[in-house]
Structure 1
């Protein structure tokens, strides 16, 4: 114990505080360090970044321990960096809130690509880091937005650096744990994990403003061996997204991901794979989830040369409906696509292509399994690719759809953005719309139509250029029997 006390005293001295805290008394000799003992103040004016950083650094120099945000207090702060072997404990009733001053956010979330947000809470090459407690991390997101419009906010203009902060960015982490926290109000992506290995996210409540664009919930970027469970997520953009961004290609594929027992709401896609994918995304199991009041339910959106394979979705309830064109998706409960990304002169192309390349290619999507999916929606399942060799071995087993028009938003549209082909495809709404695929299996599944059926509601299954379509145990008629065939193949 004497050795430990000396380590703590030395750590505090190294930070420049001497042996005394700001109240002039000796800090408690423990690796459980309160940020208030290092100068943090709970008031609406003080930026506590320096005090929080002193606490983290002292704890790290002592060999690790807990950095504690004391209960029932709010602490505003600008950006700060995490260290290895730290548990950040936000106690009950406490909140760490992002400083709304845009000028203090300088560090890009994507290296030299400075146009897609900055970092608020960050860390590189971290080991053994835990986020816990029943308090909250608050990104103060609306402070970074422009004026509200129909179902979103106008994005403020910027020159080169987009100052909107991602709430948390960890690059190259291992043994990362999240438990019991509330994370909310992000101005950009919320939990962005890049090249991380061995991650557990359990019992997190993530509450973003549903009108904030780009406010993804959890982004797993080149990550491996991740478990997400028992979470409740509301986010304007994707709730859980797996991807391989080009800026961090050194970290390799995204694989071995398990998601279960989560409830989600999104204005874009509740569970998404892509669209940024320059490597491989594989061996993913997502099960026992509820998706409510979302735009798109489950989406595989391959737009780059990377591949997606060996993904399984089981026992999921989906409720989706239409929103405005601001949000990607047109109420597709399930969406599996492979289209090359729009060309480099398109705004979205940006840093997505390999260096020096102005026209991209799309990789293959294969061995994707859906079972026990029950969906109510304004649209049907969409499977589409630029050519039949890009999507194959897609299995639907016990996928039951109830399709009904429930909003005033325009329907009869499939959303293929961001792609070189036409982004918003106007046509019929069918229970299963299949376009350019190798092998698709639909078995023990069904399509039912609600009472509100516009003219563009058509077939139970509509198939265009599918090389092998296997049907068994399927139940469903067209929306208007006698006018349209139940199953249309061409």
Structure 2
């Protein structure tokens, strides 16, 4: 049988897809295979076990705590918590006042309750915080003790209407461009040292040296915590770390001004986070709001976030260490939350090497965040992110993208080590698939939808429906396979093409609405494109229906 060049190319392309599919299936960890028959849905959400406490109450003043903002109450508060727990649990009460303290250790069956007007202010005296073995960005690292700590606990809570303040400005560096002239002047007057170019303020010479020399905080084999004494100031603590805990409640309290991440539950389950406020300055380096790492069965609802980095973030370990741990963040509900400042409203990654799955996001509002729904990873991470569902998401004045997927995310930090970044499918290949977004409304963003997968592993099986985007640029799609866009409306201001597609397969537009006189409706760029289909759409109102670049052809797309 004679085969012409087109037939040969067709066969080659299909063989390539079969091989990629086989490799994709080969690298799904066995722990994910057993969850393939997902039983969760909007009508059957994950269940979270709740806390319950005795009514017995212990006041911290019984242990000579003083609300004068000067007395260090570390011992008194910890003694109150310990005594309450030893007596079977109950409530440790913090009445109104300014309570200065060092690190606090929560205990099982204890509800730390703050009255309105109560502020737990953590001391800026770094000698009160020991260097300990901790977890940060998915790696085992040396850290200063967190202000609030808990390990191997069950049934614990922080509730009330008070404030917990991490005194983060004493720990973090800041650039002159991030502050007003008056704020910068005050910062210089507070002490510290400047970078050689005079543009960055550091809390101490020790911090500056660690930053300039690129010192690592990784607790590698043979390293001890005391080995990090010469960079102690650089090891900024998260405000709260709860590890290997069950049945956690955070409710009503304001958590603010963390030195690094604010709230960090890790390898924990049955978390209820409700009606809290999380605040970090916009310039707060690594100032995440909530980082749920390798956690199972959680709900985050009716809370407010206004932070310096990602707001609500899903993580599960980093690179090889995270893959060896192999604990996904799964079975969660995120609903009714408001996010103001933040790099992303709800974020997955980039440290997601243990995977993430079965997460439901609804009725959330993002006001002025950099990005809305943000998914990020990079070669070498590995992990499978799947079964993510979002509906009724409302965004206003988003600085960058409303919906964002990027598999080329990488920022060099002190928890990094070498990893394989070659473009082949292996255990370090991140896999993002099977997500459904419905009723996403964005009034103002640079781009409505941005998707960039990997050449060796496309982002797969994404559906976006019944959504409206008022943006500069509609969508940029690359390395995506099996994307369904149903009943989308775009209002755009840019002279760029409404949608640009490259290196992608099987994209369906159904019921596409856009402004008349759009310069270019669809731009195809490159040779590796196929299965693009538009239907139930008026193509006549665009100035130009199709633009072809760098080898793209009309046969790659069908207008129905």
Matched, 1:471 2:509: yes
Q: Could you tell me which residue of structure 2 aligns to residue 384 of structure 1?
A: 452
TM-score by length of 2: 0.69
> SS at the partner of 1:431?
strand
Aligned partner of residue 59 in structure 1, secondary structure = helix
- Kindly tell me the number of residue pairs found equivalent between the two proteins: 416
Distance 2:415 2:461 in 1: 32
Q: Does structure 2 retain, via aligned residues, the 8 Å contact 1:216–1:236? A: yes
Runs of 5+ unmatched residues, structure 2: 1-54, 180-199, 211-229, 521-541, 553-560
Aligned match for 2:475, one of 413, 422, 432: 432
CA distance in 1, matches of 2:492, 2:375: 25
CA distance in 1 between counterparts of 2:231 and 2:302 reads 39
Contact 2:173 2:285 in 1 (8 A): no
**Greater percentage in helix:** 2
In 1, are the aligned partners of 2:149 and 2:242 still within 8 Å (CA)?
A: yes
Taking the aligned partners of 2:61 and 2:163, their CA distance within structure 1 comes to 17
1:296 lines up with 2:366 in the alignment: no
> In the alignment, does 2:316 pair up with 1:234?
no
Distance 2:72 2:545 in 1: 63
- Name which of 406, 410, 413 aligns with 1:337: 406
Tell me the equivalent position of 1:91.
115
State whether residues 389 and 438 of structure 1, in contact with CA within 8 Å, keep that contact through their aligned partners in structure 2.
no
1:170 has 2:242 as partner: yes
**Which digits, 9 at most, give the CA deviation of each residue in 1:69-95, with x for residues without a partner?**
11x211111112111111000111101
Q: How far apart in 1 are the matches of 2:238 and 2:434? A: 33
Change (3 A) 1:488 1:68: farther
Report which of the two structures shows the higher radius of gyration computed on alpha carbons. Answer: 2
Number of the residue aligned with 2:361: 286
Q: Secondary structure at the match of 1:40?
A: coil
Please tell me whether residue 373 in structure 1 is matched to residue 437 in structure 2.
no
Moved more, 97-106 or 33-42: 97-106
Instruction: Please state how far the C-alpha of 1:114 moved relative to its aligned partner.
Output: 3.6
Q: Give yes or no for the alignment of 1:100 onto 2:111.
A: no
Give the aligned partner of residue 408 of structure 1: none
Deviation, 1:478, is 8.5
**Secondary structure of the corresponding residue to residue 497 of structure 2:** coil
For 1:365 and 1:470, locate their aligned partners in 2 and report how far apart those are by CA, in whole Å: 19
2:75 counterpart of 1:50: yes
1:320 Cα deviation after fit: 4.1
Offset of residue 358 of structure 1: 8.1
Q: CA deviation at 1:116?
A: 6.3
SS in 2 for 1:285: strand
SS of equivalent to 1:294? coil
Matches within 5 A, 1:259-408: 259-303=334-378, 304-322=381-399, 331-339=400-408, 347-348=412-413, 350-351=415-416, 361-375=428-442, 376-387=444-455, 389-404=457-472
Where 1:445 maps in the other structure, the secondary structure is strand
Checking the alignment, whether the CA contact within 8 Å between 1:103 and 1:163 is kept in structure 2 is no
Q: Secondary structure at the match of 1:164?
A: coil
Q: What is the CA–CA distance in structure 1 between the aligned matches of 2:100 and 2:414, rounded to whole Å? A: 36
- Whole-Å Cα distance in 1 between the matches of residues 544 and 143 of structure 2? 47
Give the RMSD, CA atoms, in angstroms.
2.6
Deviation at 1:389, TM superposition (A): 3.0
